[in-house]
A and B are shown apart, each in its own frame.
Chain A
Amino acid sequence: MQRKSLDLWVGIFVLLGAAALMFLALKAGNMSSLSFEQTYSVITKFDNIGGLKPRAPVKSAGVVVGRVADIRFDDKSYQAVVTLHLESSYKFPKDSSAKILTAGLLGEQYIGLEPGGDTNNLVAGDRIKMTQSAVVLENLISQFLYSKAAEGSGGEK
């Protein structure tokens, strides 16, 4: 086979592989949802973050407005410190509240942001004061069991 056509075929082979990888990355993977937009950081503190993971979405009214960047533990206040990267095109009032919600009944956890009424907006480095921790399923179950037990023993007396 001629030198030139051999090189051509090998080039086509490698390009096919690259095209397959691009297809997988864009169509099958979540690269299209990675935004390279400008973001600003906001800090939140929670008593319990449950199953929240880095890169979990931050949603407001159901729309993704940012991502969880970093999760740390503060051993002065014994709270979880979660850093959020919010997209710069979305501004939130200073008294917005953050809750940890679950997608579906047993799905992934994400942060829901509810806007407050303040006229000033959050800037980079601000702290969201009002937070609500994740619902821990085991606590719910034990609460339910204790209340059932209390009901039962109360009824007997």
Chain B
Amino acid sequence: MILDTVASLGRLVLETVGRVGYAARIFFALLGASVGLIRRPRLITDQIHFIGNYSLVIISVSGLFVGFVLGWQGYYILNRYGSEQALGVMVALSLTRELGPVVTALLFAGRAGTSLTAEIGLMKAGEQLSAMEMMAINPLQRVVAPRFWAGVISMPVLAAIFSAVGVIGGYIIGVRLIGVDEGAFWSQMQAGVDLWEDIANGVIKSVVFGFAVTFIALFQGYEAQPTPEGVARATTRTVVISSLTVLWLDFLLTALMFS
């Protein structure tokens, strides 16, 4: 009995490790297939439209509300210690360093990641990918790689928009509504936020998250069971795995960058 449990545990671990290895192989195959994509940039721009443009609304509205909340909560806490003039630098640093990349990545996983997984999964269920292979078209190059690079390009763009809209949101609440001094708000922010250490690090984070979330979404779709339940399960796995990966990578990158 115990031997059976240990054996099944071992099998589980081996399967997971094997899956990770398979994912790594697909990743490198994807990178190799992307080389031929240079001749057809139209494919990538089409996907940027579907992935990026259609996420603009959710990202900007979320950014605005996160900025509102940061402004409000930040004022409430800073006021206790008489430092409400530091509201600007607090809002800007929280957004550019952490919230911008991470929340955008989580929202991106939920909105764009699931649509990517479902699309690829349904293509697989409808045997479109096999049909392409029959016609000697590499499905990785034609279908998966454009979506991968579109996701990688869209993520930093969306994260920057999130941070900028969030700062404006913090300004609206802090300066316009509550009454923090406008000059202090912007001047302390400009003194406290460094272009390379804060903003550039945030951009690097969002690029890394873009790689991770897009690849996980595409891989789950590529490897989904070709049935409706299989696609549904793959979509859920995309959200769960990419969210956990984003948070883990964020911890890693923060420790590396802001030591």
CB contact between B49 and one of A6, A21, A27, A32 (< 8 Å): that residue? A6
Dominant SS among interface residues on chain A: helix
Q: Are A16 and B46 in contact (CB-based, < 8 A)?
A: no
CB contact between B45 and one of A7, A16, A27, A33 (< 8 Å): that residue? A7
Given A6-B46, A10-B45, A10-B48, are A28 and B190 neighbors across the interface (CB < 8 Å)?
A: yes
Assembled-state Cα–Cα distance A34/B195 (Å)? 10
Q: Are B156 and A17 in contact (CB-based, < 8 A)?
A: yes
Assembled-state Cα–Cα distance A72/B149 (Å)? 44
Assembled-state Cα–Cα distance A36/B156 (Å)? 28
Instruction: Give the residues in chain A near B46, CB-CB below 8 Å.
Output: 6
Scan residues 182-202 of chain B and give those whose CB is less than 8 A from a CB of chain A.
186, 189-191, 193-195, 198-199
Q: Are B52 and A24 in contact (CB-based, < 8 A)?
A: no
Q: Are A13 and B48 in contact (CB-based, < 8 A)?
A: yes
Instruction: Give the residues in chain B near A9, CB-CB below 8 Å.
Output: 49, 53
- 1/0 contact string of B157-168 vs chain A (CB within 8 Å): 110110111010
- A14 CB within 8 Å of chain B: yes
- 1/0 contact string of B139-174 vs chain A (CB within 8 Å): 000000000000001101110110111010000000
Assembled-state Cα–Cα distance A10/B176 (Å)? 33
- A124 CB within 8 Å of chain B: no
Q: Are B161 and A17 in contact (CB-based, < 8 A)?
A: yes
Q: Are B195 and A27 in contact (CB-based, < 8 A)?
A: no
Assembled-state Cα–Cα distance A117/B53 (Å)? 63
Assembled-state Cα–Cα distance A13/B157 (Å)? 8
- B247 CB within 8 Å of chain A: no
> Could you tell me the distance in whole angstroms from the C-beta of B191 to the nearest C-beta in chain A?
7
Q: Are A24 and B163 in contact (CB-based, < 8 A)?
A: yes
Assembled-state Cα–Cα distance A6/B154 (Å)? 15
Assembled-state Cα–Cα distance A18/B186 (Å)? 21
- B33 CB within 8 Å of chain A: no
CB contact between A13 and one of B53, B163, B164, B199 (< 8 Å): that residue? B53
Q: Are B161 and A29 in contact (CB-based, < 8 A)?
A: no
Using a CB–CB cutoff of 8 Å, the interface residues on chain B facing chain A are: 42, 45-46, 48-49, 52-53, 56, 92, 96, 153-154, 156-158, 160-161, 163-165, 167, 186, 189-191, 193-195, 198-199, 203
24 cross-chain CB contacts under 8 A: A3-B42, A6-B45, A7-B45, A9-B49, A10-B53, A13-B56, A14-B157, A16-B161, A17-B158, A17-B160, A20-B160, A20-B161, A20-B163, A23-B164, A24-B163, A28-B92, A28-B193, A29-B190, A29-B194, A30-B190, A30-B194, A31-B195, A32-B190, A34-B195
Sorted nearest first, the 5 A-B pairs with minimum C-beta distance are A17-B157, A20-B164, A20-B160, A29-B195, A21-B160
20 extra interface residue pairs, beta carbon distance < 8 Å, beyond A17-B158, A23-B164, A27-B167:
A9-B49, A13-B48, A14-B48, A17-B161, A18-B160, A20-B157, A20-B160, A20-B161, A20-B163, A21-B164, A24-B96, A24-B164, A28-B96, A29-B190, A29-B194, A30-B193, A30-B195, A32-B190, A33-B191, A34-B195
